[in-house]
A and B are shown apart, each in its own frame.
Chain A
Amino acid sequence: MSKTIVLKKGLDLPITGCAEKRLSKTLLSEVTAVQPGDFKGLLPRLLVKEGDKVLAGSAVLSDKKNPDILVTSPVSGTVKEIVRGEKRKLLAVLIQTDPDQQYADFGAKSVAALSAEDVKSALLASGLWPWLVQRPYGILADPAATPKAIFVSAFNSTPGAADADFAFAGEIAAIQTGIDALAKIAEVHVSFNAKTYDASPLVKLNATKHFFEGKCPAGNVGVQISHISPIKKDETVWTISLQGLAAIGKLFLKGRYDVRRLVAVSGPMAIQPAYVSALPGTPMTELKAFYSTNEDIVRVVSGDVLTGKAVGTEGYLGYFDNTVTLIKEGTEKEPFGWAMPLRLKQFSTDHTYFSWLMPWRKYDMDTNLHGGPRAFVMNDAYYAKVLPMDIYPLYLIKACLAGDIEKMEQFGIYEVLPEDLAVCEFVDPSKNYIQDIIAKGIDLMLKEMA
């Protein structure tokens, strides 16, 4: 076992409602959605019309800039509706699901015999290409590029998020095949949680391994990259999740496009939180059993509590998500909240409260901001103590606010995605939307660099 990288900075949110490690049910919904908004950097071109028949793996969308990049249907069925928003922006393609699933046949292949180009074209044709995320900026990977390396995080450090050891225990062979396939393109680095590694089923994987120990966000692949091999200007690396590796593995093993996954349904509002087996685009109404008694006060989040997207009860499971978080909308006022000496029901990492003295406690957190928006008052160190990267977070945030490209470069915009500063956003007493600020900074970089 190579050396463990210990990260001292970070914060584990003591939130209740962690999903119990059992499969509660397997879902196949009547309607499944394909949402172009799930793919950062995709300019969608619609390839189907209402009434078309599709198989699991049939192309639904392509990218206007690079028509080789396809988004395919996770299910077989009939295109039911094309949902458009303002200015006819394409929001979703709804597919009426067949009761018996039919898969497009991509042909099982032995990975050992394939070249890098073969792997790339297989991924493009099957619609698995979007699983590859290119850094800097976290966009769709460019098929023409050769990345420096491909990074994978084999654990999730956000409390409440799906536990990799449980969710992928049955997918080891597929994940290994996925790693072997991508290794044709570039070296694959997999980072493990040093604390749980020995007991993990993932121990069997064969790749360039790294070991991390630390609090959230130690499981973020961006944090791991910054400690393994920081991204420099003009460098490109790719990242992929275990879920993506498993899907790639199944493509080569079985010749099928199969993106079914175990989804952790968790959060303080979840009734008997547990795992379900589901496909991306599954309507949240399928999960009603988990929030039926709290329907009017629940926020349904596709993704984890720090970085997920609030999709509402009418929304759909995001393409890359394997966590659904159910959390209470904190719309109630709290009389004299900030002035109460103890305020024991609320969690704060700040020492002006006392919850840091009671690390064993868990809290029913809700979505209340606990304050009003203000200019940044606390200094850089306040944010840096929860960011295990060698950057000055507040300087980066302010550079993004100012739209100063040079400063953004200086303070590490190449190394971060909004998710990496999610914990900074959590602790911010000025209640700024830090992830949004970083996302806008990245958008500006993309525009200026194009």
Chain B
Amino acid sequence: MENLNLILPEIFISLSIMFLLILGVFKNESSKIIFNLSLFAILITTIITINETFSVTRETLFNESVVIDSMSSLMKIITLIGGFLVLVISSTYLKTFKIYNIEYPVLILSSILGMMVMISSNDLIVFYMGLELQSLALYVLATYNRDQLKSSEAGLKYFVLSALSSGLLLYGCSLVYGFSGSTNFDIISNQLNSEEYVLTFGIVFILVGLAFKISAVPFHMWAPDVYEGSPTTVTLFFTIVPKIAALSVFIRFLYVPFLNLIDQWQMIIVFLSIASMVFGAVAAIGQTNIKRLIAYSSIGHIGYTLAGLATASNEGIQSSIIYISIYVVMNLALFSCLLMLRRKDQYFEDIDDLSGLSKNHPLLSLCLLLILFSLAGIPPLAGFFAKFYVFKAVLEQSMYFLAIVGLLSTVVAAFYYLRIIKIMYFDKEKDKFDSDHSLWLKFSLTVSTILILLYFIFPSQIVEVVSRINII
């Protein structure tokens, strides 16, 4: 008998989704209850995940098609916390646009479920199932503000391009299956060897599909449009939660089935990483819309995460996970600020709207200042340490070129972060924004800013947690 306790989080969250859907159908005016219940469900799921799986080193279920190990449990916890915080700060925004409906939390829950399946997958079919579950939920979320043209456009774009990438991914999977005779990662890992040249095509297709999902250059084209068009809270969700899941799948693919083919994929990852870092930095310079700018900056950050993966070492994987965790915190803080730029039911998304913010809202702009410097990777803020760990891992493998290009592109990236700071601090002030924000929004901004600012006092903790992850 399988030990079902290990997938209790997934079971619980799927039951919650069904229950909430039924509740939504039978009860009128239930959005508030469903919001609260789904927050509660995520909370419980997190607790279950910590209780049941956090101490597990490695267990497999269902003919080894699901794996529970230290990486999967950690990534699930980060995903759940990210999802929780996104949901909790969304409500004011959604109410403003009159889209405070029951579907929103349910969709977020189901995409989280999909991601949890992805993270735990040890089999091509399970992986693909999880991927599609989360993608379908995300398509709908992108169009969630359906009265707005931009939102519908974003959803459609996302759907078409994502479907294309899923197709590529499937094609890659079938090639791999053809060569190895199995869909199980461990078996594939034993069957594959670098003599089969056609196999490289399979790997490339899978990597392309995954690169699409995390919007690495040159498969990033959808990101700026989708980020700009989607409702801001959904954009926040896009920038953090699916990235965590996609990253852990990336890690799983590279280091379990394809481990023996390191020579084949290492170059590809290095290329994706360099291209994302450089392009993300350069393309963000000309942006005027903050959400577009964040899209490009997130492309850049994905580049740094991939740099850690390219090292093919445990150090590198750990550094990537640290990077993405710190990135989640920074993005959460950034979007909390963005959601505070509100004046009578109108949200502001242009960088110029920030003009002179520091005079009217000194605290908010101080937070934003710290967040931006942290994103730029200036010590002693958390963002610096994220980059530091990555480059430490990269240099351990003597990949000097990657490190130098990466660090030089941080200088370029620093320019556009500085530009926002310049507008906030050096320019003339405009009208005040509203200051009656929900408690949760203030809470998430304060906590994440404090984490960013004071991370340097206790830098070891996160390293210790992550150091349990040993894939190779």
Partners in one complex: no
User: B residues within 8 Å of A by Cβ?
Assistant: none
